[in-house]
Structure 1
Amino acid sequence: MSHDLSPKIITLVLAHYGVTASHCQYSVLGNGLINSTYLVECDDKCFVLQHINQQVFPKPLEVINNADLISQHLTTKHQQQRYPLMPVTQLRTQTQDNHVKVQGQFWRALPYLGQSYSLETMTTLQQAADTANAFAQFSAALSDFNSADLAPVIPQFHDLALRLKQLKHAITNTSACLQQQAQGLIHFIGTQQSFIDSITAIMPTLPQRVCHNDTKINNLLFSKHSHKPMAVIDLDTCMAGYLMHDFGDMVRSCCPSIAEDSANLAEMAIDWPQFNTLAQAYIAGLNGILSEQERTSLAIGVKLMPFMLGIRFLTDFLAGNRYFKIDYPEHNLVRAKNQLHLYQLFCQQQALLSNIYSA
């Protein structure tokens, strides 16, 4: 995604926030892959300006309005001292709007938390505990928010049945060559029907809650003073969902010993001390809202997320690499093998996964 910014457009956007572009400096902020984000520095103020990617979010107002609903709820909880983190509220324009539309493109502004920093990877168990606890506190504070009030910005995002249907369609419509390359994985997925059936069975028993859907450490801001989480950020994919998705994706992204696109599967191992730290801190941060069925589902989510992502990578490989960015033609096939191998490792260690039930 390009970070090129037209001076004409930035001038028009900033004017809505009462800022003269000639009196400001602006620069790319962070390394996000979806939206374009800029730090705007003026003489008397400093804030974040973000351009919504309408290819990923074709209904940008839903993303913006969802963020407003969530931040308003969290602000009330914070004022009641029932949410310890700092809500990040979208700034208003001079006409009190939560966004700016210029030449068909949607923009929003956010406060810049100058006394904060972000991390790309976990390097200590303390960081793992803090991350899991922060995302759990986020969900706990929103446990009395009606998740149905949020627009589904990416409909059926974690719908395994849909992902399997898409895979079947891709298999039917791909070339014989690609199908042959993927045959081993296609066969393996076909042998996992009992796991697929277990997902179908548990879903109706779980409450839908507000889920962040991108529970990685780089979606937290940490205090430069305390080195503890200050705020949960990037609410773009917040939707109704199940806590097992948030927890499973957190474990999937940080507990394996190799990157998700590494082909060195023999070197893949799971950091079980980190897993246990995540589980204990996540359950503690949920502050008693977790039902027994949800607690059981967390371990299922740990297997579900790499399984489903593996299916998505494989589908994209068979369909011509249309969704995920690739560096070489077999990139998505390698990713699929990686994630399905991770799923197998978790399945082989059910006893260690079950520690979560008593965390």
Structure 2
Amino acid sequence: MTQNLPHNILALVLAQFGYTREECNISLLGNGLINHTYLVQTQHKTFVLQCLNQQVFTGPEQVTDNVDLISEHLLTQSSNKNYALMPIWQLRSQNNKNHVKIQGQYWRALHYIEDCYTLESITTSEQASFVGNAFAQFTNALGNFNSQKLADIIPQFHDLSTRITQLNQAVKKTSNTLLLQAHSNINFIKSQKNFIDEITAITKNLPLRVTHNDTKINNLLFSNKTNRPIAVVDLDTCMAGYLMHDFGDMVRSCCASIAEDSAELDKMSINIDILTALTKAYIAGFNGTLAKVEINSLLLGIKLMPLMLGIRFLTDFLNGDNYFKTRYATHNLVRAENQLHLYKLFCQQESLLADIVLSTSRTTA
């Protein structure tokens, strides 16, 4: 399963963490779209080994330093019984570093939590409540951490105006063949100016927090014993941001009836029961501390995140698939159309979504 990595590179990386290639059993771990992640098992130790994608993370040392800062804070919060989940931390190299650099590639080792599993989708409202509460706990535990201490790993990562600018640049540079395939989706995005202006207006008044920025269910570890979340993982995109981004991405990834790369758009629907459970648990997880403007922003976040991800997928398609891993030529185009369709469904259900968010905020205030 590691045939794409030369034996000598793995040996060099493992040596930096005090292991030989021969004593390690290595297998692929997870299905992330960005980094290459492996599970390493020895007779006495199990850990995660990861090669950071430098096309995405142009400052890999900033990534590992950010993770250290967040993990240290969460460990303190956990020790003080202010964080019920288990923090994840990076292991040190033989030189006491949080990463190693081998032949131009950046690698790090991560603590591995035993006796747990991940999920790719939510199937029950109870699971949805667990997910909403876990991500709220994570952000709430970082409420007294100064988000400005974190490096801006991907500048303007969730800035809609920046994403539209990137799309426009890709449109100018792409081939006529790709442009023709994406034409209708480009025109639809241009037609959403009123919503884009609404997002620009509200962000001027939102407080900055430490946000996870990838709140998919597969970034939670669930206990085999309790079937409840025990850890939030994949902290690489944690930066200063807005709650509506984390909440919107959680809803986007958990409430659609089909996978985000499915082309069967006629089968897509929104699971309102799961959306309601997510919303209630997420808002309740902040224990009544959310500002009114933040609560109002959550409704916008539900629509914002599928639109923004649709723009990102479409931009990557036009740029030749440089960011997201793909399995076939139009994979990113299919993803873009999927997310834009989800955005349309959320817009059609806006009145119901407003009732869910606002009624929940009143009952938990």
Question: For residue 99 of structure 1, what is the amino acid of its counterpart?
Answer: H
Distance 2:221 2:227 in 1: 9
Deviation at 1:163, TM superposition (A): 1.4
Q: Give the TM-score normalised by the residue count of structure 2.
A: 0.91
1:161-186: CA deviations, max 9, x gaps?
11111222233344455444434333
8 Å Cα contact 1:48/1:109 also seen in 2? yes
Aligned to 1:342: 342
Matches of residues 121-270 of structure 1 in structure 2 within 5 Å?
A: 121-270=121-270
- Paired positions, count: 359
Aligned to 1:351: 351
Question: For residue 5 of structure 2, what is the amino acid of its counterpart?
Answer: L
Aligned to 1:274: 274
Matches of residues 107-126 of structure 1 in structure 2 within 5 Å?
A: 107-126=107-126
1:85-117: CA deviations, max 9, x gaps?
011111123332222222232222222211211
8 Å Cα contact 2:2/2:28 also seen in 1? no
Residues 3, 37 of structure 1: alpha-carbon distance in 2 compared, 3 angstrom cutoff? farther
Deviation at 1:3, TM superposition (A): 6.0
- Indicate the larger mover: 338-347 or 72-81: 338-347
Aligned to 1:18: 18
Distance 2:13 2:324 in 1: 30
Matches of residues 34-73 of structure 1 in structure 2 within 5 Å?
A: 34-73=34-73
Deviation at 1:236, TM superposition (A): 0.9
3-state DSSP class of the match of 1:39? strand
Aligned to 1:95: 95
1:168-221: CA deviations, max 9, x gaps?
223334445544443433332232211111011000110111111111111111
Question: For residue 106 of structure 1, what is the amino acid of its counterpart?
Answer: Y
8 Å Cα contact 1:143/1:289 also seen in 2? no
Distance 2:65 2:178 in 1: 42
Residues 17, 206 of structure 1: alpha-carbon distance in 2 compared, 3 angstrom cutoff? same
8 Å Cα contact 1:40/1:47 also seen in 2? yes
Q: Which runs of 5+ in 1 are unaligned?
A: none
Residues 139, 41 of structure 1: alpha-carbon distance in 2 compared, 3 angstrom cutoff? same
Deviation at 1:47, TM superposition (A): 2.0
Question: For residue 201 of structure 1, what is the amino acid of its counterpart?
Answer: A
8 Å Cα contact 1:222/1:231 also seen in 2? yes
- Indicate the larger mover: 141-150 or 331-340: 331-340
8 Å Cα contact 2:34/2:324 also seen in 1? no
Aligned to 2:82: 82
Deviation at 1:50, TM superposition (A): 1.9
Q: Percent identity?
A: 59
Q: Which runs of 5+ in 2 are unaligned?
A: 361-365
Aligned to 2:287: 287
8 Å Cα contact 1:137/1:287 also seen in 2? no
3-state DSSP class of the match of 1:81? coil
Aligned to 2:363: none
- Indicate the larger mover: 63-72 or 16-25: 16-25
Q: Give the TM-score normalised by the residue count of structure 1.
A: 0.93
Residues 203, 39 of structure 1: alpha-carbon distance in 2 compared, 3 angstrom cutoff? same
Residues 291, 35 of structure 1: alpha-carbon distance in 2 compared, 3 angstrom cutoff? same
Question: For residue 203 of structure 1, what is the amino acid of its counterpart?
Answer: T
Distance 2:180 2:327 in 1: 21
Distance 2:36 2:264 in 1: 33
Distance 1:319 1:211 in 2: 28
8 Å Cα contact 1:3/1:36 also seen in 2? no
Residues 309, 23 of structure 1: alpha-carbon distance in 2 compared, 3 angstrom cutoff? closer
8 Å Cα contact 1:171/1:318 also seen in 2? yes
Residues 98, 322 of structure 1: alpha-carbon distance in 2 compared, 3 angstrom cutoff? closer
- Indicate the larger mover: 93-102 or 16-25: 16-25
1:293-315: CA deviations, max 9, x gaps?
00110110000111112222333
Aligned to 1:316: 316
Deviation at 1:325, TM superposition (A): 3.9
